[in-house]
Structure 1
Amino acid sequence: MADDLNEKLKAAAADDKVQHQAQSDNDAKDARIEELTGQLARAMADLQNFKRRNEDEKASFVKFANAELLKIILPILDNLDRSVTHLPEELKDNEWTKGMLQIHNDLLKTFEKLGIKKIKTVGEKLNPKMHEALMAGPGEKDVIVEEFEPGYTLFDDVIKVAKVKVGDGLPTDRQAPKK
């Protein structure tokens, strides 16, 4: 009976050792699973960040390429604007002229859809990032009194500065001198 009891104790101890080893193995596996899950989560986050950066870089490239193209096209629009401004009165009802004016309007609408906007000038305070002062003359100091050439932005980035005349603080002919 003592031998039987010893055998049972040895078997129980062996079972305990096996159970302890199995628990230890399970704990190690759980830790490894947790480690690999963390690595996977970081890898997925890195992939998402890479995709986002890649999309941002593509968008930036397209925007830059568009800006370069627009810098070439905008002087043509400026010339068309000048021709519309100086259109003789007797030609305004001409059918060909009306067609050209429609093309001009369509071009302006297309540029607006592409994110291109004219920079505001006359009456605005001079902003060196958007305006290039070519002259100064009578008028409120540092306020734009005349536009020589329009400037443009593309999605809030200046792609062409406006060329302007600014006030020098001296009164205009219409203003009474300050006393």
Structure 2
Amino acid sequence: MSHNNHNDHDNEDLNNHIPEENASQEEAFEPAESIINDDVVEKLKAEVAEQKDKYIRLMAEFENYKRRKAAEIQDINKTAGKDIIISMLEVLDDADRAEAQLTKDVPVDQLKEGIQLVFNKLRKNLSNKGLKELQSIHQEFDPELHEAITQIPAPTEDLQGKVLDQVKKGYYLNDKLIRHAQVVVGQ
């Protein structure tokens, strides 16, 4: 039994030491708690409020930027073809003059020459704006450039798989294909 009493006595010593350790740990935390005072809390709240205000202002500026850009894009879309239309007005004026000449007694050769001048001016204006014709005749058929509307027997073996005729011309605008050529392919 004395052995049991000895164990009880050890347990009591152990239990007595635990609160002392906890007490010293609590004392260690007391200085940390005293560091966080009302001034620090207020300072942190002020910084959070300032950052929140900056964020709200930034979001408002971004929304205004998006609205301005949308309005600019809408204006650009409304007037995107303005330069082309203005350059085409000269051609339209020439076409109107040529049409007026059709009602008069003018020699056919002069009419042809006038109409040819209108067509040349039209082609030149479009070329100046970046339009370029796709060359297709006797070229290898390329589905990226051509739209085959039919196939016919090739007159010679070297024309098999090549474009024999063009129903509609293909065009590039500033080196970007904007219309495929409609072609007849030799088989």
TM-score by length of 2: 0.47
* Greater fraction helix: 2
TM (norm. structure 1) is 0.48
The structure having more radius of gyration, on CA atoms, is: 2
